[in-house]
């Protein structure tokens, strides 16, 4: 594994972003708010809601800083897997505590990089009501601020998780105010983790609610029965 100070490779990621951002803006009507809330330097965690297949590629291409996203291991096969490795994304298992993926994310943050994850764990209604603990662990171990992200338009009501938005569809990305918790060394007990997780979860919930009010736009609701949760 690369030395911690070096972080994760970004040459391929920066090259791909340069190509993909223009394509995305030509294909869809993308509106971004609050980009200035993402710190320009230092470690940062982008914690996004997750409603459709396009969420990951959209943020990797357009986020204010090049993000290293936590991507399910099933995607790391064939040409897609080769591309994901080339652009420095992080393979993660959703069926177990993936120590290797966590170590890579910590490595990136300690090197002052940006890590993107989805606290809901899977695609769904995007309301942030479900919450996995990975973002809490990373925030406490590294002291990195957590910037909430709310995405709208990548899936319409009733559509499956694999759906792609129609050409020209309006996509909204709203970045919120960072929440910063002090770095906590070992030991980090259960009470500390639960309290920090509650603070972060409340912050993410509030951001999604504010974004809906500001945009006058609703999220798509739950996935239809039988749809892949990605």
* Domain presence at residue 221: no
Select from 85, 35, 86, 90 the least CA-distant residue to 65.
Answer: 35
Contact 75, 87 (CB under 8 A): no
Percent of the chain with pLDDT strictly greater than 70 = 97
pLDDT digits (tens, 9 = 90+) for 107-130: 999 999 999 999 999 999 999 999
* Domain presence at residue 19: yes
What DSSP assignment string belongs to 111-164?
A: TT-EEEE-TT-S-S--S--S--THHHHHHHHH---EEEEEEESSS-TT--TT--
Q: CA of 58: how far to CAs of 9, 110, 204, in Å?
A: 20, 25, 19
Cis peptide leading into 228, omega within 30 of 0? no
Strand partners, 151: 173
Report the half-sphere exposure of 31 (CA within 13 A, side-chain side): 11
* Domain presence at residue 60: yes
pLDDT digits (tens, 9 = 90+) for 67-78: 999 988 888 888
For residue 21, give its domain range: 4-156+166-215
Angle, helix 11-27 to helix 78-86, in steps of 10 degrees:
110
* Domain presence at residue 126: yes
For the beta carbon of residue 115, count every other beta carbon within 10 angstroms: 26
* Domain presence at residue 148: yes
* Domain presence at residue 224: no
* Domain presence at residue 63: yes
Strand partners, 114: 44, 67
At 228, is the pLDDT very low, low, confident or very high (cuts 50, 70, 90)? Answer: low
Contact 123, 76 (CB under 8 A): no
At 2, is the pLDDT very low, low, confident or very high (cuts 50, 70, 90)? Answer: very low
Strand partners, 72: 92
DSSP state of 77: S
Q: Which of 28-42, 74-88, 128-142 has the lowest mean pLDDT?
A: 74-88
- pTM for the predicted model, two decimal places: 0.93
Contact 120, 230 (CB under 8 A): no
Q: How many domains does the chain have?
A: 1
* Domain presence at residue 52: yes
Reduced DSSP (H G I as helix, E B as strand, rest coil) percent helix, strand, coil of the chain, to 5? 40, 15, 45
Judge whether residue 93 has pLDDT over 80.
Answer: yes
């Amino acid at each position: 594994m690369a030395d911690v100070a070096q972080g994760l490779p970004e040459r391929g990621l920066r090259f791909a972003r340069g190509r993909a951002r223009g394509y995305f803006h030509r294909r869809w009507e993308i509106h971004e708010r609050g980009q200035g809330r993402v710190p320009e330097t230092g470690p940062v965690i982008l914690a996004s809601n997750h409603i459709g297949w396009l969420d990951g590629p959209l943020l990797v291409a357009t986020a204010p800083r090049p993000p290293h996203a936590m991507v399910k291991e099933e995607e790391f096969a064939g040409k897609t897997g080769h591309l994901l490795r080339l652009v420095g994304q992080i393979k993660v298992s959703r069926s177990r505590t993936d120590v290797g993926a966590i170590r890579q994310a910590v490595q990136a943050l300690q090197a002052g990089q940006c890590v993107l994850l989805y606290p809901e764990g899977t695609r769904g209604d995007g309301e942030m009501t479900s919450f996995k603990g990975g973002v809490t662990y990373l925030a406490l171990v590294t002291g990195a601020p957590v910037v909430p992200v709310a995405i709208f338009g990548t899936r319409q009501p009733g559509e499956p998780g694999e759906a792609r938005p129609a050409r020209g569809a309006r996509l909204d990305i709203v970045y919120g105010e960072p929440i910063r918790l002090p770095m906590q060394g070992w030991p980090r007990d259960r009470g500390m983790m639960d309290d920090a997780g509650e603070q972060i979860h409340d912050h993410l919930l509030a951001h999604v609610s504010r974004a809906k009010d500001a945009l006058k736009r609703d999220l798509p609701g739950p996935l239809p029965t039988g749809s892949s949760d990605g």
